[in-house]
Amino acid sequence: MQHKHQNEQIPNVENIPSLRWVDASQVGTAHWQDRKLTMRTTGPTDWFVNPDGSPPVANAPALVFEFDSDSRLSVRAHCSMRNTFDAAVLFVYQNNTSYAKLCFERAPNGDATVVSVVTKQFSDDTNGPVVATTHVHLRVSRSGAVIAFHYSTDEQKWKLFRLFRLFDPDAPTWVGFMAQAPVGDGCKAEFDRIHYSEGKQPNPREIIEFEAP
């Protein structure tokens, strides 16, 4: 049975501003316990505007907060990865045709991979490295209109994965968490070591190591 969001289901997560659902009709749950955010969704759920013109999908549960013009969010992400494209996601959102995803995702061959999607009217899809562990560290940074995606396997050395400009730099922008199961019957995504900070961001191309949070 599918359950729609209710306001009382929004958890209070330490160290970040108050969260809200992107859309109260999206199917999923969220729970905060032992300093870990656990999100579950039934399937099929996703956010994707296929470049072939197929009908867009925008029903995966996403919890977000306002993303200041100079700030960054980092997490350690884990995903159950039972089915292809199941993913734990950091989500940057402006509207249903302007958003981006940094994913820890199951590839069609079963590998756990870092994947990104940037949607500006239509979505692209960029597959990244295979991760040989059960989790990966993901980071989203904003410097004005510019968004940077980094990933790390040890939370110390970070690699730049994607750098792009927001579709509308002046529009309200949110960042947060998502669980997606585009082709399967459900997915569990877990996020811990959640850190959010505000302030001027360093040049993302020059960053090899960040100070530990």
Average pLDDT, the chain: 91
- For the four alpha carbons of 35, 64, 150 and 101, in that order, the dihedral sign comes to positive
Stretch 5-31: mean pLDDT, rounded? 83
Q: Is 172 helix (H, G, I), strand (E, B) or coil?
A: coil
Domain boundaries 7-198, CATH class? mainly beta
- Write the burial class of residue 134 (CB in 10 Å: 0-12 exposed, 13-18 middle, 19+ buried): exposed
Q: Any idea which residue has 């995803």 for tokens?
A: 101
For residue 117, list its beta bridge partners. 101
Q: Is 208 helix (H, G, I), strand (E, B) or coil?
A: coil
Residue 208 backbone dihedrals phi, psi, to 5 degrees: -110, -40
Tell me what pLDDT residue 17 has: 96
pLDDT tens for each residue of 157-199:
999 999 999 889 899 999 999 999 999 999 999 999 999 999 9
| Tokens, residue 47 | 């956010």
Whether omega before 44 lies within 30 degrees of 0, making that bond cis, reads: yes
Question: What are the domain boundaries of the chain?
Answer: 7-198
Tell me what pLDDT residue 1 has: 29
What global pTM score does this model have? 0.93
**Judging by DSSP bridges, how do beta strands 87-95 and 146-152 pair with one another?**
unpaired
Number of Cβ within 10 Å of residue 50's Cβ equals 12
| Nearest alpha-carbon partner for 14 in 37, 48, 38, 43 | 37
Tell me what pLDDT residue 26 has: 78
Q: Is 8 helix (H, G, I), strand (E, B) or coil?
A: helix
